[in-house]
Structure 1
Amino acid sequence: MPSRRSHTKSHHGCRQCKARRVKRQITCSFLDTGSEGFPTPPGNATAYDTSTPKSFDYQLSDAEKTRHGPLPTPKTSSPLTTVQDGPGPEKRFDILDLELIQHYSTRTYMTMSSRLASHAVWRDTIFAEALRHDYLLHALMATAALHKATLQLKSSDAYAEYSRIALAHQNVALAGFIPEVSKPNQENGIAIFSVSLLLTIWAFASKRLPEGLNNVKIDFGRGESSPGVTLPLHSPTGDFIEVIMILRGIYAVIRETNTWLQGDIEELLRYPRSEELPPHSQEVEDAFSTLRAAVDDPQLISLWEGDDRQATKTLFLEHIEQLRDVSRCRSVVEWDGHIFSWLIMAPPSFIHCLKASNPFALVLFAHWAAMFRCMDHHWWANGWGYNLVIDVSSMLDPLLARYMDWPRRQVGLVYQGNGGFDGRRLP
């Protein structure tokens, strides 16, 4: 598919294009684009395009209005619009929809996972499924729009427009997805599973985009109760707990759709074998030894007070060992996404400790966050690990400072020597 830039150059004053517009009585957006074209491809980190998408006046088709009902959303539309050409109606794609589909099919699909074997699944298997389920197609276009937004200068009009169109596609996708998620079957199992994975991307990426995109909050109704949340509101850690709950909801969806996840899609469910992951370095082993010692530190006895003292200590010791095992994946790029499994598989009791700001749970979480930096090469995850370690450091009592030494060194924080941390990186 030719780029908009090349089409623009070849259509200034193009009689053929003008004749086609007269015949169909439609506007050719190429003639309105200008000579600057659209975004600079990834790989040129110093060059940005600040032009604004021209074709985002996005209206729902009659068919979609009937299917989804009225939506309290910004102006949105189906990827198909009806235009007249001669005696009967003709269907065509909106040019911006085509742009997003092209971007997803050539670039975005490769950013979903580091595993080369999964790229074809995201590009072919899931896209083919999207042709059968409109809400999945909108979800793919929303993800492509989010991706394109991150390639723009944040001060540019194009950044704001791609962010806005991402929200529009999210709204349409969720309107179709939410009724389906409660009734998984052979027909919709793969589509539900795919959108559930994309929700993770949205949840992570939306924290880095305008506030309007922070609406991806789905109650999967799996009965995970929680105590009062004492984490600071709108803190990185508090926001991340919301992402954790989305991840855990997705795991519940996977369990319910597992029967129908067969064939190529199964590649996304693969976990590494133990022999595929290298052992930790001595430095990392020492960090885990320090964590184990913290459980019996007499200065931290107040963390274990109450009737469940021994049960809580046992919970943390078990979770330390699970993190030690899972975190070996950060040494192998194709398995870096496996780092999520530590939180996805965690028992509700540990998640509750995090929500309640249990200091030792936060220390353990900070170790995971430092290891999560292995995902920084993904546009939707970049920066999370660094911000989480800073945030947890600011919440902890100085008594726990020495147990934060390893994670803060991993992200380059400077320790002030007085129990305080700041956000500067080491030179």
Structure 2
Amino acid sequence: MSAEPQQKKPASRRTHKKTRTGCAQCKQRRVKCDELKPTCSNCLKRSTVCSLQFSVPNLPYNNLPQSGPSSSTASQTANQSPTNLVPSPSSRYESPNSLACFTAEDMELLHHYTCYTSQTFTTRPPICELWQCYAPKLGIHDPPLMRGLLAMGAIHKAHTCPSRRAHLATVGTRYLNGALSCFRERLSNITRENCESLVVFSCFLCMFVLGSTHKLDSASEEAISTITFDDPSEWLRLIRGLPSILHTGNGRVYEWICETPFRRILDPSIYAHEPPLPAALQPRFDALRDLVLVQHPPTAPADLRAYSDALEHLRKCTAILYGQPNQDSVTSILIWPSIVPERYVECLKESRPQALLILAHYASILKELDGYWWGKGWAKGIVQIAYARLPADWQPHAVDPMKELGFLTDGAEGAAAPQQQLQAEQQQQQQPQTLPQTLSSLLQTAGAPSGSTGTPPSTTRPP
């Protein structure tokens, strides 16, 4: 007898643990996600942005013992909110790309930002409240923005704590680098949901770069008083980062921001009512306008319009700064680089003497920001580089701002004296060595969004 054929047992299915908390990219591809943060293994291999890096960070104060009737009840309650997730024992801070757990230094920086840094951006209490309360609230639910906030706390503390200056400057730059890649991605797809964080981070980036280009490799008390840089047009493009975001989609982003608490920083009324220019400054502006537009007018009509607009905006900003009582100097000063024509910025990059001379006179009002840690020294640095690039026959026309910023005394004559003084100071100044990125490289990540023309806003809208 032949043996009866054995019945085949049905093949058992390979079991696997399902998960509903994997990243969006793996879900779309229908593959298993290992949920490693801040980037899962699949996204890391494919070099794609993983949605897990945008999840709410696990904070150490969530790891406290749960009090309640039972541990199961406490666990069930904790699972109801992502902010209550308890980090695993192996969850440690390893890089600025991860906020799995705050270190003691992170908490120190957050405390410093909330108590001190947030009060140094403006003198207007309602705006200070935004930076102190609302910005950290946004950062709790947006780890990249929280990294920007910690970067601000670190770079400000570097100014106030000379003994730790070099270390804090490096920590702040590392945090900023960890957030930049994320915000570069968002610039290509600005939505109603992410525009507010983009605007806040753009402001952080601007203040960070302004405050980090000082000589922070030194513990000297005078280390933050001098600045060196090569291209003054880069400084204007830094300030113009926020307007370029607001004008994305024909101003659609501006309308979205006006629906949020940060609409307070976009108050257009500052530029709507112009007080008269102080009588003492009127002859200076008349002479400057005559020199640039009449005696040495550019041949290209576009350049002529750019210089005319830049002069008119400078006159108006000066009148607002000195003619409106209790006016916030930060807004009235920084509005000028935000609204000058793009063609003017291009002429400045080309070292056209008319553009350089206008910038040198702008430094006369920029000096009012020397009272802010992030603005100290920039007026002196800008007039210095503008004067050095001016042709010799144009330099006497920059005497007034040179005197106001301490480069030329009333007893000095001609251009030789300030030129020698500038050369002596430039030999003493060096770029900071502790910061791994330069102003130029940071600006490459802070430029206008894709598709933006960089056109400045109209005078009826704020920068």
Q: TM-score, normalised by structure 1?
A: 0.69
Is the contact made by 1:163 and 1:209 (CA closer than 8 Å) also made in structure 2? no
Matched positions, count? 327
Is the contact made by 2:302 and 2:343 (CA closer than 8 Å) also made in structure 1? no
Query: 1:419 aligns to what?
Result: 415
In structure 2, what is the Cα distance between the partners aligned to 1:143 and 1:359?
A: 36
Query: 2:310 aligns to what?
Result: 319
Q: Does 1:358 align with 2:332?
A: no
- Aligned pair partner of 2:166 in 150, 160, 163: 160
Is the contact made by 2:274 and 2:316 (CA closer than 8 Å) also made in structure 1? no
| Cα shift at 1:182 | 1.4
Cα deviations across residues 11-57 of structure 1 (Å, max 9, x unaligned)?
xxxxxxxxxxxxxxxxxxxxxxxxxxxxxxxxxxxxxxxxxxxxxxx
Q: 1:79 to 1:161 in 2, by over 3 A?
A: farther
Query: 1:403 aligns to what?
Result: 397
Q: 1:278 to 1:176 in 2, by over 3 A?
A: same
In structure 1, what is the Cα distance between the partners aligned to 2:293 and 2:187?
A: 45
In structure 2, what is the Cα distance between the partners aligned to 1:314 and 1:243?
A: 22
Cα deviations across residues 208-235 of structure 1 (Å, max 9, x unaligned)?
1558xxxxxxxxxxxxxxxxxxxxxx96
| Cα shift at 1:102 | 0.7
Q: Does 1:204 align with 2:195?
A: no
Is the contact made by 1:127 and 1:137 (CA closer than 8 Å) also made in structure 2? yes
| Cα shift at 1:243 | 2.8
In structure 1, what is the Cα distance between the partners aligned to 2:330 and 2:277?
A: 14
Give the letter for the 1:63 counterpart.
K
Query: 2:187 aligns to what?
Result: 181
Question: 1:235-246 to 2 correspondence within 5 Å?
Answer: 236=229, 238=231, 240-246=232-238
In structure 1, what is the Cα distance between the partners aligned to 2:311 and 2:165?
A: 41
Q: Does 1:141 align with 2:150?
A: yes
In structure 1, what is the Cα distance between the partners aligned to 2:338 and 2:314?
A: 12
Which secondary structure does the structure 1 equivalent of 2:393 belong to? Answer: helix
Query: 1:381 aligns to what?
Result: 375
Is the contact made by 1:389 and 1:408 (CA closer than 8 Å) also made in structure 2? yes
Q: Does 1:107 align with 2:152?
A: no
5+ residue gaps, structure 1, are 1-60, 72-77, 212-233
Q: Does 1:96 align with 2:105?
A: yes
| Cα shift at 1:170 | 0.7
Is the contact made by 2:158 and 2:216 (CA closer than 8 Å) also made in structure 1? no
Q: 1:66 to 1:337 in 2, by over 3 A?
A: farther
Is the contact made by 2:277 and 2:316 (CA closer than 8 Å) also made in structure 1? no
Q: Does 1:330 align with 2:339?
A: no
Is the contact made by 2:233 and 2:346 (CA closer than 8 Å) also made in structure 1? no
| Cα shift at 1:176 | 2.2
Q: Does 1:280 align with 2:277?
A: yes
Q: TM-score, normalised by structure 2?
A: 0.64
Which secondary structure does the structure 2 equivalent of 1:343 belong to? Answer: helix
Which secondary structure does the structure 1 equivalent of 2:408 belong to? Answer: strand
Q: 1:414 to 1:181 in 2, by over 3 A?
A: same
Q: 1:172 to 1:273 in 2, by over 3 A?
A: closer
Question: 1:73-88 to 2 correspondence within 5 Å?
Answer: 80=58
Is the contact made by 2:330 and 2:369 (CA closer than 8 Å) also made in structure 1? yes
Q: 1:99 to 1:79 in 2, by over 3 A?
A: farther
Cα deviations across residues 293-349 of structure 1 (Å, max 9, x unaligned)?
213665xx4x63x4x2x5533432332122100122333552432322222112121
Query: 2:135 aligns to what?
Result: 126
In structure 1, what is the Cα distance between the partners aligned to 2:148 and 2:338?
A: 22
5+ residue gaps, structure 2, are 1-34, 48-55, 66-70, 76-84, 88-100, 218-226, 426-463
Query: 1:192 aligns to what?
Result: 198
Give the CA RMSD over aligned residues: 3.2
Which secondary structure does the structure 2 equivalent of 1:192 belong to? Answer: helix
Is the contact made by 2:309 and 2:340 (CA closer than 8 Å) also made in structure 1? no
Paired-residue identity, %: 20
Query: 2:22 aligns to what?
Result: none
**More strand per residue: 1 or 2?**
1
Q: 1:209 to 1:260 in 2, by over 3 A?
A: farther
Which secondary structure does the structure 2 equivalent of 1:149 belong to? Answer: helix
| Cα shift at 1:387 | 1.7
Is the contact made by 1:115 and 1:335 (CA closer than 8 Å) also made in structure 2? no
Give the letter for the 1:198 counterpart.
F
In structure 1, what is the Cα distance between the partners aligned to 2:388 and 2:194?
A: 45
Q: 1:175 to 1:275 in 2, by over 3 A?
A: closer
| Cα shift at 1:200 | 0.6
Query: 2:459 aligns to what?
Result: none
In structure 2, what is the Cα distance between the partners aligned to 1:386 and 1:252?
A: 27
